[in-house]
């Protein structure tokens, strides 16, 4: 098996940055270079002030601080890094297509294709090219075709090595991965490439957690893993609606079913709806693939996971409106949390965006407090929807840096992200600052109904009547 001395990763995002930092940390003899065309992002990865890294993840700045400049480098010199590396990870974004065939469902592979063409153009020595991005099944054959037809007689082995980390726990997920999946050809050179990549992960993970499959199984498994996880959230959210109509309590139902070892207890927290850059995108992609292979029943089955998630977000917004006497026009509603989950500054597809959009349509005045998300990001999220003008968004929605400021004279508070700090607030003070009756809508089931009602709040918790 080949001993690896230099690797590079194209794409310094939520996956490329943390993944490569952990590899550099665990493999001191390997030089790891992360490249990106986004100069600002690379500058932030190189910022001396580790609090300015472009991605917030617990434990990440310590790892970057310990390895950067030794065997971990961030650069915009894409061609140089490609040429020098023996293994090249492609970890660029693969968003849902917003144009043309497959618009709104298929994955947009233009960034991946650009990477493949760039590798083909620049490479002068044999390379292992690793798909780290989440890609539709059979993408490897497209990459292979580009590399083989435009390259300079260089030998390329293509592997699929999807990433399973979750944001907010990325470093821990990478260090203690349940499994690493490596798909590749079953030819002698394909097997050797799989073993070479396995040897990197074997620096810190037991061998039995490094799974090797064929390339198609690996690509498909990534989409399926996300689809199953999201399906659990939609399933429990569907039941949360039923709980609110009966005297059942979703926490008790989750515990009752989750203690069945066949069902398992994880991922059964009812919420205002799942967000994040991948669940929706990957399911839509799965739906698109199923439909293109002539399997409409399979496509419809998985599409329902998204439909239920949209319903949950809308249901939460509608409940706020109906509780506030059917009008939120001119009423101040404080949002606690904008990120799609705690411990990340990522807001992609966050439920908060859609709940805010629905309330702004009713002319509510929203004040947002999130401990990690910037004002700029919040406005960009809303503007992206193009529901109203950017000026109107800035007129109706304000961003504040203090939670108590958000509560000042608010008619209602909506909890949208499960940041731990929300549990530690002095809710008596929050109550005092608000207009009465003071409504509290808990989209993350964080607080105690009994305790909040005792303080005087009109309290609503998803999944509880």
Ligand X SMILES: NC(=O)C1=CN([C@@H]2O[C@H](COP(=O)(O)OP(=O)(O)OC[C@H]3O[C@@H](n4cnc5c(N)ncnc54)[C@H](O)[C@@H]3O)[C@@H](O)[C@H]2O)C=CC1
Ligand Y SMILES: O=C(O)[C@H]1O[C@H](OP(=O)(O)OP(=O)(O)OC[C@H]2O[C@@H](n3ccc(=O)[nH]c3=O)[C@H](O)[C@@H]2O)[C@H](O)[C@@H](O)[C@@H]1O
What residues form the annotated binding site for NAD(+)? 11-16, 36, 41, 92-96, 133-134, 167, 278-281, 348
**Does residue 276 bind ligand Y (CB under 6 A)?**
yes
**Does residue 278 bind ligand Y (CB under 6 A)?**
yes
Question: Could you tell me the two tokens for 435?
Answer: 């207009």
By CB under 6 A, which span of 120-128, 160-168, 180-188, 200-208 interacts with ligand X? 160-168
Binding-site residues, in ranges, read 11-16, 36, 41, 92-96, 133-134, 167, 278-281, 348
Min dist. Cβ of residue 50 to ligand X (A): 19
**Does residue 114 bind ligand X (CB under 6 A)?**
yes
**Does residue 422 bind ligand Y (CB under 6 A)?**
no
Q: What is the C-alpha end-to-end distance of the chain, expressed in Å?
A: 61
By CB under 6 A, which span of 19-27, 261-269, 360-368, 378-386 interacts with ligand Y? 261-269
Q: In angstroms, rounded to a whole number, what is the distance separating the alpha carbons of residues 335 and 440?
A: 10
By CB under 6 A, which span of 60-68, 146-154, 162-170, 188-196 interacts with ligand X? 162-170
Residue 204's CB is within 10 A of a number of other CB atoms, namely: 15
**Does residue 41 bind ligand X (CB under 6 A)?**
yes
Hunting for tokens 């399933």 — which residue is that?
A: 235
Sheet (strand 397-399) strand order: 397-399, 365-369, 332-336, 412-415, 439-442, 458-461
Identity of the residue, 212 or 280, whose beta carbon is nearer to ligand Y in the bound complex: 280
Question: Could you tell me the two tokens for 88?
Answer: 């090249």
Identity of the residue, 226 or 231, whose beta carbon is nearer to ligand X in the bound complex: 226
Q: Choosing among ligand X, ligand Y, none, which partner's interface includes residue 91 (Cβ < 5 to 8 Å by kind)?
A: ligand X
Min dist. Cβ of residue 118 to ligand X (A): 6
Identity of the residue, 55 or 360, whose beta carbon is nearer to ligand X in the bound complex: 55
Identity of the residue, 55 or 278, whose beta carbon is nearer to ligand Y in the bound complex: 278
**Does residue 93 bind ligand X (CB under 6 A)?**
yes
By CB under 6 A, which span of 67-75, 161-169, 191-199, 440-448 interacts with ligand X? 161-169
**Does residue 81 bind ligand X (CB under 6 A)?**
no
Which string of x and - marks every residue 8-37 that binds ligand X (by CB under 6 A)?
Answer: --xxxxxxx-------------------xx
By CB under 6 A, which span of 91-99, 183-191, 203-211, 333-341 interacts with ligand X? 91-99
Identity of the residue, 57 or 362, whose beta carbon is nearer to ligand X in the bound complex: 57
Size of the site for ligand Y (CB under 6 A): 21
Please report, as residue ranges, which positions from 139 to 168 form the binding site for ligand Y (by CB under 6 A). Answer: 163-167
Question: Could you tell me the two tokens for 429?
Answer: 């003070």
Question: Could you tell me the two tokens for 260?
Answer: 């069945």
**Does residue 271 bind ligand Y (CB under 6 A)?**
yes
Tell me, yes or no, if 27 is annotated catalytic.
no
Which string of x and - marks every residue 305-324 that binds ligand Y (by CB under 6 A)?
Answer: --------------------
**Does residue 340 bind ligand Y (CB under 6 A)?**
yes
Catalog residues that contact ligand Y under the rule CB under 6 A.
134, 163-167, 226, 229, 233, 267-269, 271, 274-279, 340-341
Q: Tell me which residues are annotated as active site.
A: 278
Catalog residues that contact ligand X under the rule CB under 6 A.
10-16, 36-38, 41, 78, 91-94, 111, 114-115, 133-134, 163, 165, 167, 277-278
């Amino acid at each position: 098996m080949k001993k690896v001395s230099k690797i590079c990763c194209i794409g310094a995002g939520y996956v490329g940055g943390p993944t490569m930092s952990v590899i550099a940390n665990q493999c001191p003899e390997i030089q790891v270079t992360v490249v990106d065309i986004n100069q600002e992002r690379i500058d932030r990865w190189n910022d001396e002030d580790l609090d300015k890294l472009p991605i917030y993840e617990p434990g990440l700045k310590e790892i970057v601080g310990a390895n950067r400049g030794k065997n971990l480098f961030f650069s915009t010199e894409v061609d140089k890094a490609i040429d020098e590396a023996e293994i090249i990870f492609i970890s660029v974004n693969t968003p849902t297509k917003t144009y043309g065939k497959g618009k709104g469902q298929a994955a947009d592979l233009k960034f991946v294709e650009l990477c493949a063409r760039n590798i083909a153009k620049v490479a002068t020595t044999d390379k292992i090219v690793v798909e780290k991005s989440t890609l539709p099944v059979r993408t490897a054959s497209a990459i292979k075709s580009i590399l083989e037809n435009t390259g300079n007689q260089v030998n390329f082995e293509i592997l699929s090595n999807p990433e399973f980390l979750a944001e907010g726990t990325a470093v821990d997920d990478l260090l203690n991965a349940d499994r690493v999946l490596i798909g590749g050809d079953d030819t002698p050179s394909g097997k050797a490439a799989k073993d070479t990549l396995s040897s990197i992960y074997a620096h810190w993970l037991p061998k039995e957690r490094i799974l090797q499959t064929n390339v198609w199984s690996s690509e498909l498994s990534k989409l399926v893993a996300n689809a199953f996880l999201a399906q659990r959230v939609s399933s429990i959210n569907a039941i949360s609606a039923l709980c609110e109509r009966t005297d059942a309590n979703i926490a008790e139902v989750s515990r009752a079913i989750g203690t069945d070892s066949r069902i398992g207890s994880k991922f059964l927290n009812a919420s205002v709806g799942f967000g994040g850059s991948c669940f929706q995108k990957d399911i839509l992609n799965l739906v698109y693939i199923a439909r293109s292979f002539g399997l409409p029943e399979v496509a419809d089955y998985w599409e329902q996971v998204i439909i239920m998630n949209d319903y949950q977000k809308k249901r939460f917004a509608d409940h706020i409106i109906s509780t506030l006497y059917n009008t939120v026009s001119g009423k101040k509603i404080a949002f606690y949390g904008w990120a799609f989950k705690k411990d990340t500054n990522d807001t992609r597809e966050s439920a908060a965006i859609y709940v805010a959009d629905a309330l702004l349509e009713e002319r509510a005045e929203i004040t947002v407090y999130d401990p990690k998300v910037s004002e700029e990001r919040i406005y960009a999220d809303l503007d992206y929807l193009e529901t109203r003008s950017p000026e109107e968004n800035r007129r109706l929605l304000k961003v504040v840096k203090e939670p108590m400021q958000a509560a000042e004279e608010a008619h209602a508070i909506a909890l949208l992200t499960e940041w731990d700090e929300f549990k530690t607030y002095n809710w008596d003070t929050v109550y005092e600052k608000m207009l009465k009756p003071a409504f509290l809508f808990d989209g993350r089931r964080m607080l105690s109904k009994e305790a909040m009602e005792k303080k005087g709040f009109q309290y609503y918790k998803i999944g509880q009547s």
